[in-house]
Chains A and B, each alone.
Chain A
Amino acid sequence: MSKRIDVSDLNVYYGDFLAVEGVTMAVEARSVTAFIGPSGCGKSTFIRTLNRLHEVVPGTRVEGKVLLDGQDLYGPAVDPVVVRRQIGMVFQRPNPFPTMSLRDNVLAGIKLNNSRMRKSEADDVVERSLRGANLWNEAKDRLDTPGSGLSGGQQQRLCIARAIAVEPDVLLMDEPCSALDPISTLAIEDLIAELKENYTIVIVTHNMQQAARVSDRTAFFNIAGTGQPGKLIEMDDTTKIFTNPGEKATEDYVSGRFG
């Protein structure tokens, strides 16, 4: 179920502007990989290239290779829709569909793709996904109420349930806790620890403690200055990055002496 990702020499553009330059990295299966770095260094842009969501913004393009278990995501005959079915994503701000009930939100990935499903089967998916996202106990009695009636932390866990309901190989998380309070954050971090048993997880975070707590490997991105492209500075085991990084810039950043 879970797959590894190998990126080689990836350049990401907005129009003519090179936003991220020359990223080469390997993301291991069944592990948590964290991306850290200052704002504007291209972490979010880069993570969006991993499920081909970057290109939905007009005028954007990508050069280089992203291999999902050896298959190039940017190959000429690849359908981005099929890619996104295998690589799920959770966004910075919780975004449940406002027109749908809680239950329909969880089933959105299945229903919107018009797959037919028996009711008992759908019930199983809803329960399994909500249990997987640690939301079942809070949500089971209000499955038919609108998803937007939940609190922010619950909405984010609903979005995680929605993402894992389609059983992707990889789960991308773009600052999933930045809009949440510490308790909801803790719930989601616990969840990430459970999810990595089955999924490959990539998480962007501004919270260094969070990266240290949840991730197995950490990648540090940086930019030389405004208008310069973001670059991958170094990537290593999380403990190494936070205790004994290879680069001076990494050490400055993780120890708070940035700039």
Chain B
Amino acid sequence: MTVDTAARTESTPLTHRQLPRRIVPVVLAVSIAAGAGLAALVGFSLPALAILSAVVFTVAITTVSGVVEGRRKAVDRLVTTLVYSAFAVALVPLISVVWSVLDNGLVRFGADFLNTSMRNVTGLHDQEAVEGIGPYIGGAYHALLGTFLITALATAISVPVGLMTSIYLVEYGRGKLAKAIRFFVDVMTGIPSIVAGLFAASLFAVLFGVGTRNGFAGAVALSVLMIPVVVRSSEEMLRIVPNELREAAYALGVPKWRTIVKVVLPTAVSGIASGVTLAIARVVGETAPLIVTAGFTSSINSNPFSDWMMSLPAYVYSSAMRPLSGSEPQPSFDRAWAAALTLVIIVMALNLIARLIARIFAPKTGR
């Protein structure tokens, strides 16, 4: 027995040859140099450099590792490289979007932009501003206000409906009705946003006359998009509340509805709240449904129940597609970019708020 073990220890050592830790930056530097050389052959450009360097690095590190460290380590390094590359590729659009929005949007973005509307701003002002005779004027206050009101209304409609639907699905729903609801919620998740917009537009046309456009119609269109998202995320959150907690409450003689209100919902509230916030972030940038329901305006309208109402996405669209001055469109483009930057800031803030909410409401562990 002992002899056998000793022999095995000799034949299969626990250590093996390793590449030094500094090998990765070294190979990377060499690969970039080689990539630059190869890129120069085909005509130098930054994407070509990045792609060629990545290919050279992948081949080089795998080969070196295969020769020195053996097959398993080589495969490990190959897959690690591929995963990192995939991550880098996924980041490219995000960084490029943020960069271009910041680069173009900061030209006009500022307190003045957020505080003024487009009322009485004409193409003449833009031409004067470009020629240096007058100041750059016009902002997105009316659109910001409209987006805020429409989204708030949409949330006020969607959260009660969505939350109660998910409570039904998790706590009460059995059999065919629950299955049907779940199926149709899934179908609703995939509805194109323009269809939701046309639905709301035609609903308001039937109820209040053809051509009725106001902020509330926009909110209805957005809630058609928002409800399924709220249902799905709340359903997931309610489902992960352990059944033991429900049974513990039942065993204390607590009725089912009170168990749901006082035990299940508080336990799931952090997830539900962050899900709702993400749903808001999802609809706040919707353009098409708002164009057909809330319309455009250059004035401040704080009443969502009458008259057309501007929203940030519609503002971006109209500024970019229909510049005020045909001969000098740049001021309008700058305003579109500034409004786009405002939207991106709102969405990022909502995502941060969702994380904050999740942390604040999460059950405390006390350790």
Please give the residue numbers on chain A whose beta carbons come within 8 Å of chain B beta carbons, in ascending order: 51, 53, 56, 58, 81-86, 88-89, 91, 93, 95, 97-99, 108-109, 111-114, 145-150, 159, 162-163, 166
Contact = CB atoms under 8 A, between A and B. Distances in A.
A85 B242 contact: no
Most buried by A among B242, B252, B266: B252
Given A81-B254, A91-B244, A112-B254, A146 B262 contact: no
Interface in B75-132: none
A113 B365 contact: no
Nearest to B265: A99
A-B residue pairs, 4 tightest by C-beta: A149-B366, A85-B253, A98-B363, A109-B252
B261 to A, nearest CB: 9
Contact of B251 (A53, A111, A150): A53
A148 B245 CA distance: 12
A112 B252 contact: yes
Q: Give the interface centre of A88, A98, A111 by most chain B CB atoms within 10 Å.
A: A98
B252 A98 contact: no
A99 B266 contact: yes
Given A53-B247, A95-B248, A113 B253 contact: yes
A58 B367 CA distance: 36
Given A98-B267, A112-B262, A146-B365, A84 B252 contact: yes
Contacts of A56: 246-247, 250
Interface in B245-278: 245-255, 258-259, 262-263, 266-267
B8 interface: no
Interface in B215-242: 242
A170 to B, nearest CB: 11
Contacts of A91: 244, 247-248, 251
A91 B242 CA distance: 13
Contacts, number: 89
Nearest to A166: B252
Given A93-B244, A97-B263, A112 B249 contact: yes
B174 A85 contact: no
28 contacts: A56-B246, A56-B247, A56-B250, A81-B255, A82-B253, A83-B253, A84-B251, A85-B252, A89-B251, A91-B247, A95-B245, A97-B248, A97-B263, A99-B267, A109-B253, A112-B262, A113-B252, A113-B253, A145-B366, A146-B364, A148-B364, A148-B366, A149-B365, A149-B366, A149-B367, A159-B248, A163-B251, A163-B252
A82 B255 CA distance: 9
Given A91-B247, A95-B245, A99-B267, A114 B258 contact: yes
Contacts of A108: 249, 252, 254
A104 B244 CA distance: 18
User: Most chain-A Cβ atoms within 10 A of its Cβ — which of B251, B258, B366?
Assistant: B251
Among A93, A108, A114, A163, the one with the most B-chain Cβ atoms within 10 Å of its Cβ is A108
Contacts of A85: 252-253
B365 A84 contact: no
A112 B366 contact: no
A125 to B, nearest CB: 13
A146 B363 CA distance: 8
A148 B266 CA distance: 15
A113 to B, nearest CB: 6
A81 B365 CA distance: 30
Given A91-B244, A113-B258, A53 B252 contact: no
Contacts of A51: 251
A53 B250 contact: yes
A84 B245 CA distance: 15
Contacts of B262: 111-112
A149 B244 CA distance: 18
A19 B258 CA distance: 30
A85 B267 CA distance: 23
A90 to B, nearest CB: 8
A147 B363 CA distance: 10
Contacts of B247: 53, 56, 89, 91, 95
A91 B366 CA distance: 22
Contacts of B252: 84-85, 88, 108-109, 112-113, 162-163, 166
Contacts of A84: 250-253
A166 B254 CA distance: 11
A98 to B, nearest CB: 4
Given A81-B254, A108-B249, 5 more contacts: A95-B242, A99-B266, A109-B253, A112-B259, A163-B252
A59 B113 CA distance: 62
A65 B145 CA distance: 65
A75 to B, nearest CB: 17
Contacts of B245: 95, 97-98
B176 to A, nearest CB: 14
Q: Which of B248, B259, B365, B367 has the most CB of A within 10 A?
A: B248
B263 A112 contact: yes
A1 B283 CA distance: 58
A70 to B, nearest CB: 20
A174 to B, nearest CB: 10
